[in-house]
């Protein structure tokens, strides 16, 4: 008689600058989560260097997988599926994780589950809140993406809006780099803002009232840079806490306005935040307050599940396994991969 299925899935994530492996039982119970960050490696360059990222993933991926299995107290033979981020992300970085996952799948004869990274960020919410169900609006804000999405049912997405230029995290990182605050910039700006005056400088709120669900942040970024340059030319001091707080306030105000409108227009009772910028304290607070006033609940994952991690990948992978959505071994990594595109076929 075959042993009862426990739903043990290994997740692997290598899309950017985090090498991560996790083991989940039944898609919701995290038995282990290992995250090996490369931020120190990239910090001196002020952003992720793709070549360095690929090499660091190559060194870290097998130890991370071994550690995740050991922490979970299981062996390779216990696995029932292997889930991996297929895209979007840095192509060389993605290939490292995908190749490792294919090897495990082929060697053990278990299903390969090729996951969309953006979708996995959304599913970090279903992992953390077992009672949460669609319909909902998801706001995906990361280093590479800003997407406002209506999700009427599981695995179903209607993109309402997106960024016309810089992604949210990208804008935080670029402004931080200009201010000499290091990489990644989001957490530093978030922290400094708590000590600054958000009304010190009135930065532009781009396309706030244009009637779309789109975002634009490059003008704001330029406005911050010009403001600081002018102050420096005049020999005046620019209190970095005030600049950080004023910049963050401009970003968050437009986000809160558009996300609230999307929730109202689609008639959903729940909004979820996803991606690295979902860690932003001001966004969480302001949006939570605004939505609460309208009887809408806001959800966001804990910090370790907001950043890139393999638990969200394994969680979504388990759902795919459960639905019989298995990926072929010749599936390719995809630097660009729209939300909701198939994990079963190559592009």
* DSSP assigned state of 4: P
Q: State which residue, 190 or 249, has the beta carbon closest to ligand KG4.
A: 190
Which residue's CB is nearer to ligand KG4, number 102 or number 174?
A: 174
- With contacts defined by CB under 6 A, name the span among 26-34, 127-135, 147-155, 182-190 that binds ligand KG4: 182-190
Based on the shown chain and the rule CB under 6 A, indicate whether residue 334 belongs to the binding site for ligand KG4. no
Residue closest to 317 by CA, chosen among 336, 343, 337, 278:
343
Can you tell me the distance from the alpha carbon of 107 to that of 77, in angstroms, rounded to the nearest whole number?
10
Cβ proximity to Zn ion: between 119 and 242 the closer is: 119
Q: Give the footprint of ligand KG4 on residues 260-279 (CB under 6 A).
A: 275-277, 279
Beta bridge partner(s), residue 81 = 9
Q: Pick from 60, 308, 315, 331: which binds Zn ion (CB under 5 A)? A: 308
Tokens 């638990």, residue located? 311
In the structure encoding, which two tokens stand for residue 18, read together?
């985090």
Tell me how far apart the alpha carbons of residues 9 and 29 are, in angstroms, rounded to a whole number: 10
Binding mask 3-32 for ligand KG4 (x = CB under 6 A): -------------x----------------
Question: Could you tell which of Zn ion, ligand KG4, none binds residue 120, using a CB distance below 5 to 8 A set by kind?
Answer: none
d(CA 10, CA 94): 16
Q: Which is nearer to ligand KG4, 173 or 242 (CB)?
A: 173
Q: Are 40 and 52 in contact (CB under 8 A)?
A: no
144 binds, among Zn ion, ligand KG4, none (CB under 5 to 8 A by kind): ligand KG4
Q: First CA to last CA across the chain, in angstroms?
A: 39
Residues in contact with ligand KG4, counted by CB under 6 A, come to a total of 19
Q: If binding is defined by CB under 6 A, does position 105 make contact with ligand KG4? A: no
> Does residue 161 touch ligand KG4 according to CB under 6 A?
no
- Per CB under 6 A, 96 contacts ligand KG4: no
Q: How far is the CB of 67 from ligand KG4 (least distance, A)?
A: 20
Please identify, using beta-carbon distances, which residue of 43 and 329 lies nearer to ligand KG4.
43
DSSP letters for 158-223 = EEEEEBSSS-HHHHHHHHHHHTT--SSHHHHHHHHHTTS-TTSS----TTTTSSSS-B--HHHHHH
Q: Report, in Å, the least distance between residue 277 CB and Zn ion.
A: 10
Give the burial string for 191-207 (b: 16+ CB within 10 Å, else e): ebbeebebebbebebbb
* Summary count for the chain: helices (H), strands (E): 11, 10
Residue number, 223 or 277, with CB nearest to ligand KG4: 277
Among 57-65, 166-174, 215-223, 238-246, the segment contacting ligand KG4 (CB under 6 A):
166-174
Read off the tokens for 345: 């076929």
Q: How far is the CB of 131 from Zn ion (least distance, A)?
A: 24
Assign 131 to helix, strand or coil: coil
Strand ranges across the sheet with 29-37: 29-37, 18-25, 8-13, 81-87, 112-116
- Member of 92, 144, 161, 317 binding ligand KG4 (CB under 6 A): 144
CB of 269 to ligand KG4, least distance (A): 26
* Coil/strand/helix, residue 210: coil
Binding to ligand KG4 (CB under 6 A): which residues in 279-318? 279-280, 307-308
Q: Where on the chain is the footprint of ligand KG4 (CB under 6 A)?
A: 16, 142-144, 169, 172-173, 184-187, 190, 275-277, 279-280, 307-308
């Amino acid at each position: 008689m075959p042993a009862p299925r426990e739903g043990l899935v290994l997740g692997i994530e290598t899309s950017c600058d985090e090498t991560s492996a996790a083991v989940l039982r039944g898609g919701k119970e995290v038995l282990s989560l290992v995250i090996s960050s490369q931020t120190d490696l990239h910090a001196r360059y002020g952003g992720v260097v793709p070549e360095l990222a690929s090499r660091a993933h190559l060194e870290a991926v097998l130890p991370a997988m071994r550690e995740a299995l050991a922490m979970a107290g299981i062996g390779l033979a216990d696995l029932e599926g292997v889930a991996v981020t297929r895209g979007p992300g840095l192509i060389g970085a993605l290939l490292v994780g995908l190749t490792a996952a294919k090897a495990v799948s082929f060697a053990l004869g278990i299903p390969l589950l090729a996951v969309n990274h953006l979708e996995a960020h959304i599913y970090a919410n279903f992992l953390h809140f077992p009672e949460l169900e669609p319909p909902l609006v998801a706001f995906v804000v990361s280093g590479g993406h800003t997407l406002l999405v209506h999700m009427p049912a599981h695995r179903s997405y209607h993109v309402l809006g997106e960024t016309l230029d810089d992604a949210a995290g990208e804008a935080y990182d670029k402004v931080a780099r200009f201010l000499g605050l290091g990489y990644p910039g989001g957490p530093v700006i978030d922290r400094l803002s708590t000590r600054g005056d958000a009304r010190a400088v009135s930065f532009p709120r781009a396309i706030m009232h244009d009637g779309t669900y789109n975002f634009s942040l490059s003008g704001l970024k330029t406005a911050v840079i010009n403001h600081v340059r002018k102050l420096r030319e005049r020999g005046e001091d620019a209190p970095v806490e005030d600049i950080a707080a004023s910049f963050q306030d401009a970003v968050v105000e437009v986000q809160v306005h558009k996300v609230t409108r999307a929730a109202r227009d689609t008639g959903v009772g729940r909004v979820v935040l996803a991606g690295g910028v979902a860690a932003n304290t001001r966004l969480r607070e302001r949006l939570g307050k605004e939505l609460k006033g309208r009887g809408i609940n806001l959800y966001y994952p804990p910090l370790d599940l907001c950043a890139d991690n393999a638990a969200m990948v394994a969680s979504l992978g388990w759902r795919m396994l459960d639905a019989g959505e298995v990926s072929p071994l010749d599936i390719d990594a995809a630097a660009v991969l729209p939300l909701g595109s198939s994990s079963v076929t190559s592009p």
